[in-house]
Amino acid sequence: MAGFQVTKTGNVVVLKISGEMDAHTAPQMDKALKEAIAQGNKIVLDVSQMTYVATAALGVLIANNNVVKTKGGKIVIAGMLDKIRKVFDTMGFSKVFPIASSVDEAKNLF
């Protein structure tokens, strides 16, 4: 089961994602990202509790990243498990998104 929680601290919006991100949960992820983007253009995705990521979710991430970039912002990924990092590395997403070890570190990348 997937979980999403959006919080805002100062001018940084944190979207905490937990569970599996696949074709079934990608629409929920898209909705949560759009909610986060509506609150600002400095987005941290806390994926420390994400246990699986599929290409459908990666597509949602890229589409929303393009929206954030047109607003002059960026998405930073924080707290990746090794197995999620391997998927990002294999798909080339590690070159697209800044990656931080924690939410606090990610906030310093803006």
Mean pLDDT by 10 residues, the chain (110 residues): 90 97 95 97 97 94 96 97 95 95 96
Helix (H, G, I), strand (E, B) or coil at 19: strand
Domain of 80, CATH number, reads 3.30.750.24
Please return the burial class of 14, using the count of CB atoms within 10 Å of its CB with bins 0-12, 13-18 and 19+. Answer: buried
Report the C-alpha gap between 38 and 61 in whole angstroms. Answer: 15
| Number of structural domains found in the chain | 1
Task: Residue 45: give the domain boundaries.
Answer: 3-107
pTM: 0.94
Closest residue by Cα to residue 2 from 16, 21, 27, 15: 21
Residue 1 pLDDT: 66
| Strand bridging mode 74-78 / 12-21 | unpaired
Residue 102 pLDDT: 97
Residue 2 pLDDT: 81
Residue 92 pLDDT: 93
